[in-house]
Chain A
Amino acid sequence: MARVEFREDRCKGCGLCVEVCPKHIVAMRCDVLNAKGFHPAGVEAMDQCIGCAFCAIMCPDEVIQVEK
């Protein structure tokens, strides 16, 4: 069981986390705009997360924290 947390307001919507997620569960949330005006990244199907932290390692803005 694993969980990723996104500090939404820090996200700049670059999409690098989406690119590296091996389970393809990270997506840009097109329905949400954060304070910076970006569509932030998020995970819908958290139950599929394996806690590999690839998204967090790749994130240039320290948005993501991973628990396992």
Chain B
Amino acid sequence: MALVYQRTCGLLDVPFHYCPGCTHGIVHKLVAEVLCELGLLDGAIGVSSVGCTYNNYEYFACDMQQAAHGRAPAVATGIKRVLPDATVFTYQGDGDLAAIGTAEIVHAAARGERITTVFVNNAIYGMTSGQMAPTTLVGQVTTTSPYGRDAATQGFPINVSEMLATLRGAVYVERVSVTSVKGIRAAKKAIRKAFLVQRKGLGFSFVEVLSTCPTNWGLSPVESLKWVDTAMQEQYPLGVFKGADLEVEP
């Protein structure tokens, strides 16, 4: 018998600290698998952000830096400008990227930094226990929108992928989900493409992954997948927003 699925070499053999059913673990696996399969792991430097993934530098087998809240794209810019041949990526959640770090992500994209951002959007602040995020849906109950997000006073969700796709420096932008095996395969393809775009020096590449937070959503892990497929996808449709026709496969 041959192994048809085994642990990826891109992750250290350390248990994740994430809650049961949280899809961060799936996204970590995909990033690590892509880096290994493309032979990029040894020359990769990742940037962890603030939120549930604050310490994912302990998981990835490549060199890692940990950034202040929202600043990962600036830190990644500093790294990439020193090491233009390295593969540099940020791994950020929606609180980090779409609120406190809005300026950094927009300008890294606008500059066309040759970095890759994996943006995990679960429509809530997980680490700080379920507060409203910029990506929280209208009507969604969180600890800081206990009556549901009221658009009149708390505004509307930000569709980050669509927004970044308007910038010339952002050459590849796609939104995926990891709620099924099919979705996970598509997500991996997108992450692979994003890294290849970076390797080709084409510009900034961005993959938004719709993800779950069963703990703070108050749903079971399986119910959470279904909520992504229905409620979240209504606000955040999957698809390629930029660079669909880029040919980057070696």
Q: Which of B115-123, B218-226, B233-241 contacts A (4 or more CB under 8 A)?
A: B218-226
Q: B23: CB under 8 A from chain A?
A: yes
Report whether B184 and A66 are in contact in the complex, using a CB–CB cutoff of 8 Å: no
Q: Which of B5-13, B78-86, B89-97, B199-207 contacts A (4 or more CB under 8 A)?
A: B5-13
> With a CB–CB cut-off of 8 A, which chain A residues contact B29?
60, 62
State the interface size on chain A (CB cutoff 8 A): 27
Q: A25: CB under 8 A from chain B?
A: no
> With a CB–CB cut-off of 8 A, which chain A residues contact B214?
14
> With a CB–CB cut-off of 8 A, which chain B residues contact A68?
1-2, 4
* Shortest distance from the beta carbon of B71 to any chain A beta carbon, whole Å: 27
Instruction: Kindly identify which residue among B5, B20, B23, B180 contacts A56, using a CB–CB cutoff of 8 Å.
Output: B5
> How many A-B contacts if CB must be within 8 Å?
74
* Shortest distance from the beta carbon of B92 to any chain A beta carbon, whole Å: 18
Q: Mark B102-113, 1 if CB is under 8 A from A, else 0.
A: 000000000000
Instruction: Kindly identify which residue among B23, B25, B181 contacts A62, using a CB–CB cutoff of 8 Å.
Output: B25
Chain B residues packing against A (C-beta within 8 Å): 1-7, 11, 15-16, 18-26, 29, 180-181, 184-185, 214, 220-222, 225
A57-B184, A58-B181 are known; give 12 further A-B pairs, CB within 8 A: A2-B1, A3-B1, A12-B21, A19-B225, A57-B5, A60-B22, A61-B16, A61-B18, A62-B16, A62-B25, A65-B6, A67-B3
* 4 tightest Cβ-Cβ pairs between the two chains A and B: A60-B25, A14-B21, A12-B20, A53-B5
